Amino acid sequence: MPNARAVTRSPGRRATAALCVGAIGVLATACGIHISKNGISGDIGGHKFSAAIHGLPSGFPTNVPLPDNARVIAGAGTNGGYDAAFAVPGAVAAGAQAYESKFQSAGYNVTNISAPSTTEVSGSGQNSTSTTVTLTGASFTAKNSTWTVQVEMGSSSSAVGSELKTGEFGINITVVSPSATG
């Protein structure tokens, strides 16, 4: 082939690439990172963490009530604090009351109750089509001697993501030790 040039790579470039790949492997091992099909966990600079898709994070406290009939969407935890998201069948109002009762039965003091409320948001699209979305939400705080749990829940009359199915609402809980909340 006329004008064809042979491509050569310098030995220095290959060595640099090999060193980079090796350094990443050593760094991941030294930091104690474990990656699996559904999540990640580890210790970076003394900060332990875990995260899971469709599962609770490693070490999630067993004395924190979970919503009835819920699917776990995702969970994460770091240094004793946790966050988890759930998809729950039914209406927000009934779900909020049932979840508050579950915390009370487990010995938690439930405060800061924001009763379910609904609002409508309207807008018009690019082609002058009008859309109204109904949003319903509620929240509360649950505390015992071990944990402070902030609970937020809500639903939308419009699809907001691929995780919630028709007839479900979302619940997000943040779990921390009472000393972390001041």
| Distance, CA of 115 to CA of 167 (rounded, Å) | 20
Q: What is the pLDDT of residue 2?
A: 47
Q: 110-121 pLDDT, tens per residue?
A: 999 988 888 877
| Distance, CA of 23 to CA of 17 (rounded, Å) | 10
**pLDDT band at 156; cut points 50, 70, 90:** confident
Query: What's this model's pTM, rounded to 2 decimal places?
Result: 0.69
Work out the average pLDDT over 88-99. 93
Q: CA dist 130 to 122, 136, 159, Å?
A: 7, 20, 16
Q: Which of 163, 84, 158 is closest to 121 using CA atoms?
A: 158
- Edge-to-edge, what's the strand order for the sheet holding 130-143? 34-36, 39-44, 47-53, 71-78, 81-89, 168-176, 148-156, 130-143, 109-124
Q: What is the pLDDT of residue 30?
A: 42
Percent of the chain's residues with pLDDT above 90: 34
Work out the average pLDDT over 128-137. 73
| Distance, CA of 111 to CA of 25 (rounded, Å) | 47
Q: In the chain, which ranges are E strands?
A: 34-36, 39-44, 47-53, 71-78, 81-89, 109-124, 130-143, 148-156, 168-176
| Distance, CA of 81 to CA of 62 (rounded, Å) | 13
Q: Which of 64, 65, 52, 128 is closest to 95 using CA atoms?
A: 65
Q: What is the pLDDT of residue 134?
A: 75
Q: Which residue would you say has higher pLDDT here, 17 or 128? A: 128
- Report whether pLDDT(24) > 50: no
According to DSSP, the residues that pair with 141 across neighbouring strands are 111, 150
Percent of the chain's residues with pLDDT above 70: 60
| HSE-CB for 179 with a 13 A CA cutoff | 2
**Mean pLDDT, rounded, of the chain:** 74
Residue in this structure with the two tokens 């699209």, named with its chain if needed? 125
Work out the average pLDDT over 29-55. 53
